[in-house]
């Protein structure tokens, strides 16, 4: 693997990560807080990478979840030239113990070293689970999110506790972590349940500790789309063309952030927009709105509209971050970029478009999903209530019996 930054390190990584005889430095080039190219701070984790071409390597980072690397495609495989080696193929993370010098005997007896052997089979479990998910035709993004969720779970449960040794009590305690939003709890519950069901079905554990976990109650909340006035306010706030096109694609084509990020000049043809990688792996065509058709004349015709690193497009979270920043500058609070998509559905329903057509415009698999996007119209509800049969009600005071 070709590294963007190298610290002082041996030519090969020793198999025993407790046997470092040097002070490794973090090799990351971009951190979650936005600091680029830092070269301070010791490395704490060795990330094992396996490229599809078969080349393997180990990178050193100061964080076990190398999200700043996964987001940036900063590592290139020296054998096949892939620039997404880390994002697509990283296998497992192992903690790096402090350098072993005079105090080596004490560290060798430390309890945390007993957990080192279990990291290998757990890395294999997660890799083989990911392979199983691919065989089920799960999207790469979904697989990445699910394996990342399990790595977070492994990191936060009791130190040294192997994933295969987790009990139902451990999982319930974890899901009860204070301060989490209900959707966060449900995401963890769904992923943990899927992983342990797979471990059980494949004979890796005798019983499923995640069976019959408490259901996570997610309170109902009404959709909160931007108003038309807020959409206009956002567009009039001095945004650049690049940001304006992102906003228009979300509002007038109803695209998700990840779909906006992936728009290519080849996707715009003959008044139609091709959405090749929609949710659930769908590939659909929808009519192009006139506003998007006008903007398309100024966008690349044979390249991504929003290019990122190494000939790839930007990530969906980059689109969300860009539009969120524009909203803050425009003074629009209490809304997220995804609610531009809710504006799309709400305004179509208010205009009298039938629900099935709106479902198709939103590219929902089922009609039932639409209620999560369409804001209730008080005038329509009032008009509907007035259609109820009238009955005579004696409003005079009546003595209680």
Each residue of 165-192: pLDDT tens digit?
A: 999 999 999 999 999 999 899 999 999 9
Distance CA 208, CA 385 (A): 50
DSSP-derived secondary structure letter, 76: B
User: Which phi and psi (to 5°) does residue 390 adopt?
Assistant: -85, 140
**End-to-end alpha carbon distance in the chain:** 88
Is pLDDT larger for residue 391 or for residue 96? 391
pLDDT at 318: 93
Helix axes 339-350, 228-235, angle to 10 degrees: 130
Q: Is 396 helix (H, G, I), strand (E, B) or coil?
A: coil
Is pLDDT larger for residue 385 or for residue 310? 385
Q: Is 303 helix (H, G, I), strand (E, B) or coil?
A: coil
Handedness of CA 35, 40, 44, 46 (dihedral sign): positive
Handedness of CA 228, 231, 340, 333 (dihedral sign): negative
Distance CA 254, CA 216 (A): 29
Distance CA 289, CA 249 (A): 9
The tokens for 47 are 């990330």
The tokens for 229 are 């006035």
**Strand pairing report for 272-275 and 268-269:** antiparallel
Helices within 253-399 (DSSP H only):
257-261, 290-296, 316-329, 339-350, 355-362, 378-385
351 Cβ contact list (under 8 Å, min separation 6): none
CA 203 to chain centre: 30
* Mean pLDDT along residues 125-137: 92
DSSP-derived secondary structure letter, 85: H
The tokens for 37 are 């190219």
Q: Of 126, 188, 181, 187, which is closest to residue 156 (Cα–Cα)?
A: 188
Residue 394 pLDDT grade (very low, low, confident, very high; cuts 50, 70, 90) = confident
Distance CA 29, CA 69 (A): 7
Beta-ladder partners of 57: 49
Distance CA 373, CA 386 (A): 25
pLDDT digits (tens, 9 = 90+) for 140-172: 888 989 999 999 998 888 767 889 999 999 999
Contact between 45 and 95 (Cβ < 8 Å): yes
pLDDT digits (tens, 9 = 90+) for 8-26: 344 444 444 443 344 455 5
Distance CA 293, CA 272 (A): 9
Contact between 142 and 194 (Cβ < 8 Å): no
pLDDT digits (tens, 9 = 90+) for 251-290: 999 999 999 999 999 999 999 999 987 887 788 999 999 9
284: left (phi over 0), alpha (psi -120 to 50) or beta: beta
pLDDT digits (tens, 9 = 90+) for 76-128: 444 454 444 344 344 455 555 544 333 333 333 333 434 434 445 666 899 99
Number of Cβ within a 10 Å radius of residue 243:
20
pLDDT digits (tens, 9 = 90+) for 362-379: 999 888 888 889 988 888
Residue 63 pLDDT grade (very low, low, confident, very high; cuts 50, 70, 90) = low
The mean of the pLDDT values for the chain is: 77
Beta-ladder partners of 102: none
Distance CA 79, CA 267 (A): 32
């Amino acid at each position: 693997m070709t590294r963007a930054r190298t610290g002082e390190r041996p030519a090969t990584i020793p198999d025993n990560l407790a046997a470092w005889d040097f002070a490794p430095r973090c090799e990351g080039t971009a951190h979650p807080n936005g600091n680029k190219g830092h070269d301070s701070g010791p490395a704490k984790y060795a990330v094992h990478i396996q490229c599809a071409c078969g080349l393997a390597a180990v990178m050193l980072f100061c964080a076990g979840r190398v999200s700043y690397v996964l987001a940036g495609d900063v590592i290139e495989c020296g054998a096949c030239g892939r620039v997404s080696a880390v994002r697509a193929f990283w296998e497992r993370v192992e903690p790096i113990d402090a350098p072993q010098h005079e105090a080596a005997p004490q560290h060798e007896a430390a309890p945390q070293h007993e957990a080192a052997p279990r990291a290998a089979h757990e890395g294999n479990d997660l890799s083989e689970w990911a392979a199983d998910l691919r065989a089920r035709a799960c999207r790469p993004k979904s697989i990445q999110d699910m394996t990342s969720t399990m790595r977070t779970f492994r990191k936060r449960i009791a130190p040294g506790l192997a994933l295969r040794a987790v009990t139902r009590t451990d999982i319930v305690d974890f899901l009860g972590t204070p301060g989490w939003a209900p959707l966060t709890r449900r995401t963890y519950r769904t992923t943990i349940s899927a992983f342990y069901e797979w471990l059980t079905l494949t004979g890796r554990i005798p019983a499923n500790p995640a069976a019959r976990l408490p259901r996570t109650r997610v309170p109902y909340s009404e959709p909160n789309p931007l108003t038309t006035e807020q959409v206009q306010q956002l567009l009039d706030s001095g945004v650049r063309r690049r940001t304006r096109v992102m906003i228009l694609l979300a509002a007038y084509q109803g695209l998700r952030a990840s779909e906006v990020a992936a728009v290519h000049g080849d996707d715009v043809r003959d008044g139609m927009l091709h959405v090749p990688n929609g949710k659930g792996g769908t590939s659909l065509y929808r009519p192009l709105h006139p506003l998007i058709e006008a903007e398309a004349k100024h966008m690349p015709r044979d390249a991504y509209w929003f290019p990122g690193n190494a000939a790839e497009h930007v990530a969906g979270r980059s689109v969300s971050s860009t539009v969120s920043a524009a909203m803050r500058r425009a003074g629009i609070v209490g809304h997220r970029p995804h609610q531009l998509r809710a504006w799309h559905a709400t305004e179509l329903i208010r205009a009298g478009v039938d629900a099935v057509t709106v479902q198709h415009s939103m590219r929902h698999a089922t009609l039932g999903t639409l209620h999560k996007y369409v804001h209730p119209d008080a005038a329509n509800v009032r008009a509907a209530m007035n259609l109820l049969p009238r009955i005579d009600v004696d409003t005079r005071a009546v003595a209680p019996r």
